[in-house]
Amino acid sequence: MRAACWTGRNSVAVENVPDPQILNERDAIVRVTSTAICGSDLHLYDGYVPTMKRGDILGHEFMGEVVEVGRAVHNLSVGDRVVVPFPIACGACNACRRDEYSLCENTNPNARLAEKLWGFPTAGIFGYSHLTGGFAGGQAEYVRVPFADVGPIKIDDASIPDETVLFLSDVFPTGYMGAEYCEIEPGDVIAIWGAGPVGQFAAASAFLLGAERVIVIDRFEYRLQIVHEHTGAETLNYEDVDKVPEALKELTGGRGPDACIDCVGLEAHHHGPAYAYDRVKQALRQETERPFALREAILSCRNGGVVSIMGVYGGLMDKFPIGAVMNRGLTIRSGQCHVQRYMRPLLGRITHGEIDPSFVVTHRMTLDDAPLGYELFKQKEDDCLKVVLKP
């Protein structure tokens, strides 16, 4: 079959690889009908996530048709149309019982690697480095889905197009969880760093959860325009202001946002000497992150507020403003999204017409165009916000 493989820093190639087969009884094989490139795929593409190997199949946002099921899978049949959540979860361990699926204790066969870096291992993730298990990803014609009886959600209504439900696999629930963690109360103002797909969904979700105002911060006008048009959020181009925390204070009558969501992660951009400092440290591998968005989110949040971190971080950061967190009583909430927890309720919101997540799609391509898709998305060329690949 054809699959988009990581072939080194800034390099993706569509290669011929063996077809997947059932390895465990609770596996299913899915023929991929739609798959998307995620912002976190760019961290792999850019070479900032360790333990990638040449030839790793990428992709953790995908959906398709079940073509084979293992003997122990009873809830799915051949022909079912499914969306697959990006974390692989067993459904039986203590973490899964708490609905914390991305923390599943059993699905990472490289648990020791992750344990060394992070203290405890986390769940396996499709196409997302060997640290999270070394599972082949979904930017391919076919994919093996372990624990198919736990994760995938069936889409019975054939009239719903792929693009409307595809993002249930990651970015919609991730944005939603980011907003849910803000414990939004009537009148709340939520600030969101990053108008990429997760930021777009965080903004939409914050309104769904009752926020009064949402302010999205980015530097790309086309992305700010999309979030304003489709969610009603206010926008702030950080290149137009000296200091984002001051601008946010001013926009909120001096109070600061009630909660801040970081939808940027480890490759943030910025201007001035601070950017140069982190850029150099990151290039020399003295720190793994360029955490401007997170620092700003912490410094902007009102006293006693919540900072919700959905942007991906890998290891260690420098100049973490712990004094602000402690003295101002901030709450930090974070995590890879527990997608399985949100798929059903969010599918409900889609079918009830509360949201159509397909508004983020700007580019549709064949799988063979994946290298172009990665480059457009990385360089933000051609007003690219979300690339959907059709194998």
Nearer to other proteins, 97 or 352 (CB): 97
Among the residue ranges 74-82, 135-143, 152-160, 346-354, the one whose residues contact other proteins (CB under 8 A)? 135-143
Nearer to other proteins, 134 or 175 (CB): 134
State the nearest-atom distance from the C-beta of 67 to other proteins, in Å: 14
- Residue 246 CB neighbour total at 10 angstroms: 12
Q: Which residue has the tokens 């079912």?
A: 80
With binding defined as CB under 8 A, does residue 391 bind other proteins? no
With binding defined as CB under 8 A, does residue 3 bind other proteins? yes
- Alpha carbon distance 202, 348 (integer Å): 17
State the nearest-atom distance from the C-beta of 131 to other proteins, in Å: 10
Burial 176-190 (b: 16+ CB within 10 A, else e): bbbbbbbebeeebbb
The gap from C-alpha 389 to its chain's centroid, in whole angstroms, comes to: 17
Task: Identify the residue among 8, 67, 72, 348 touching other proteins (CB under 8 A).
Answer: 72
With binding defined as CB under 8 A, does residue 75 bind other proteins? no
Q: What is the dihedral of CA 137, 142, 144, 145, to 10 degrees?
A: 80
* Site track 105-124 with other proteins (rule: CB under 8 A), x = hit: xxxxxxxxx-x--------x
CB 126 within 8 A of CB 86: yes
Residues between 170 and 189 with contacts to other proteins, criterion CB under 8 A: none
Q: What is the dihedral of CA 162, 159, 176, 33, to 10 degrees?
A: -20
CB 192 within 8 A of CB 204: no
Both structure tokens of 198: 């997760």
Nearer to other proteins, 8 or 210 (CB): 8
State the nearest-atom distance from the C-beta of 350 to other proteins, in Å: 30
State the nearest-atom distance from the C-beta of 55 to other proteins, in Å: 3
Nearer to other proteins, 113 or 168 (CB): 113
State the nearest-atom distance from the C-beta of 147 to other proteins, in Å: 7
State the nearest-atom distance from the C-beta of 97 to other proteins, in Å: 7
- Alpha carbon distance 246, 226 (integer Å): 25
Q: Number of residues interacting with other proteins: please give it, by CB under 8 A.
A: 45
Task: Identify the residue among 4, 12, 14, 20 touching other proteins (CB under 8 A).
Answer: 20
Task: Identify the residue among 67, 78, 92, 276 touching other proteins (CB under 8 A).
Answer: 92
Among the residue ranges 60-68, 126-134, 290-298, 357-365, the one whose residues contact other proteins (CB under 8 A)? 126-134
* Site track 25-64 with other proteins (rule: CB under 8 A), x = hit: xx--------------------------xxxxx-------
Q: Which residue has the tokens 């976190």?
A: 40
With binding defined as CB under 8 A, does residue 67 bind other proteins? no
The gap from C-alpha 274 to its chain's centroid, in whole angstroms, comes to: 26
Smallest CA-to-CA distance from 88 within 69, 104, 65, 99 is with 104
CB 29 within 8 A of CB 80: no
With binding defined as CB under 8 A, does residue 255 bind other proteins? no
With binding defined as CB under 8 A, does residue 22 bind other proteins? yes
With binding defined as CB under 8 A, does residue 90 bind other proteins? yes
Q: Is 142 helix (H, G, I), strand (E, B) or coil?
A: strand
Both structure tokens of 143: 């994919």
* Site track 144-163 with other proteins (rule: CB under 8 A), x = hit: x-xx----------------
From residue 21, alpha-carbon distances to 1, 33, 34 in Å are: 12, 18, 20
Element (H, E) at 124: strand 124-125
Looking at residue 101, its amino acid is: Y
The contact set with other proteins (CB under 8 A) reads 3, 5, 17-26, 53-57, 72, 90-94, 97, 105-113, 115, 124, 127, 130, 133-137, 144, 146-147
